[in-house]
Amino acid sequence: MATRIGFIGLGIMGRPMALNLIAAGHRLAVYARRPEALVPLADAGAEACDSAAAVARKSDVVFTMLSDTADVEQVVLGSGPDDPRAVIAGSSPGSLVVDMSTISPSATRRIAARLADAGVTMLDAPVSGGDIGARDGTLSIMVGGPAPAFARAKPWLEILGRSIVHIGGQGAGQVCKACNQIVVGQTIAGIGEALLLAEAAGVDGTRVRDALLGGFAGSRILEVHGRRMLAGDYRPGFKAVLHQKDMRIVQETLHELGLGLPGTALVAQLLNALVGQGDGELDSAALHLAQRRLNGRAHGPV
Ligand code: NAP
């Protein structure tokens, strides 16, 4: 019998991912708290459900692509212990939950333990690659959880992504995503500082970027985010407020581990300042705006 798939969280990332599963021939049951978010999926042939539990009742595997830790807790476990609308209330023993949101690694382990008590296995499978990767099915997917569950989920993950790596046990995927956001955040900050130096020294930033792209400092982030900084074009992409959320998760994890990573803390503070100044909806490359304001160069050309 064909596997029945559920999908909950139909935003910038979840909608194209769910559509890709349908395009690959799967039957989907979907739920969103705003009924209008269900329309494009229903139009594509998905069955719209009125709760997360209803999705789980119709599914052997439920994918979630929600915003933050508290959202996954609410949707999967419910608002209280016996919430009839939660995924756990509708799940059968032997079923699978694959959470692809970016959330806390330690909360992931707690959610996985609660699901395990109900006979349900959880994988954490956060992604990198943005809305373009979601649409094109080229995401990088970092997976935590038991190997047999990973093997079961892999064919579906291969529809959604190009690089699928089993990192380790439950929570390991989210730890990997935290590592990813440390590297991305510090690289954006480094590029922003370099372009600010070029500008202050009266050197053409576009030529600096061109030269750096051909050498050891070259990177996809220099290419994409460097271009955005030079153009002052901060249309999202990956919103600063989501990167701030991810750095909060990193900071919470460092606190739990008693680990001090000063460069990471600095990036988190710059994102706090940027969001605090009302720019959270801009692309996370706008971290450069916080650096500019720090140096009294808010309005000049880069
Ligand atoms: P988004 O567009 O805001 O979508 C999130 C979806 O989850 C929305 O449809 C939202 O419903 C739903 N949702 C949130 N909380 C819910 C709750 N408590 N109950 C029911 N539905 C809920 O965000 P996104 O960009 O798709 O990001 C989703 C996740 O992927 C985040 O964890 C993000 O960090 C991660 N991510 C994003 C990107 C990117 O480039 N965007 C890249 C990599 C990873 P409403 O529409 O009703 O608000």
Domains in the chain: boundaries:
5-170, 176-294
Q: What is the pTM of this model?
A: 0.95
How far does the centroid of ligand 1 lie from the alpha carbon of residue 71, in Å? 9
Does ligand 1 lie within 6 Å of residue 46's CB atom?
no
What is 176-294's CATH superfamily?
N-(1-d-carboxylethyl)-l-norvaline Dehydrogenase; domain 2 (1.10.1040.10)
Q: Which residue's C-alpha comes closest to atom 29 of ligand 1?
A: 101
Q: Strand 139-144 relative to strand 127-128: parallel, antiparallel, unpaired?
A: antiparallel
The number of the ligand 1 atom at minimal distance from the alpha carbon of 238 is: 40
How far does the centroid of ligand 1 lie from the alpha carbon of residue 255, in Å? 25
- Under 8 Å between Cβ of 189 and 270: yes
Does ligand 1 lie within 6 Å of residue 14's CB atom?
yes
- Point out the catalytic residue in the list 58, 177, 239, 245: 177
177 is catalytic: yes
CATH-assigned architecture of domain 5-170: 3-Layer(aba) Sandwich (3.40)
How far does the centroid of ligand 1 lie from the alpha carbon of residue 283, in Å? 16
Per-residue pLDDT of the chain (302 residues; tens, 9 = 90+): 578 999 999 999 999 999 999 999 999 999 999 999 999 999 999 999 999 999 999 999 999 999 999 999 999 999 988 899 999 999 999 999 999 999 999 999 999 999 999 999 999 999 999 888 999 999 999 999 999 999 999 999 999 999 999 999 999 999 999 999 999 999 999 999 999 999 999 999 999 999 999 999 999 999 999 999 999 999 988 899 999 999 999 999 999 999 999 999 999 999 999 999 999 999 999 999 999 999 999 865 44
CA distance 118 to 114: 7
Cα dihedral 240, 158, 78, 42 sign: positive
Encode 152-180 in three state secondary structure.
HHHHHHHHHEEEEEEEECCCHHHHHHHHH
Does ligand 1 lie within 6 Å of residue 275's CB atom?
no
Adjacent-strand bridge partners of 141: 127, 164
Does ligand 1 lie within 6 Å of residue 65's CB atom?
yes
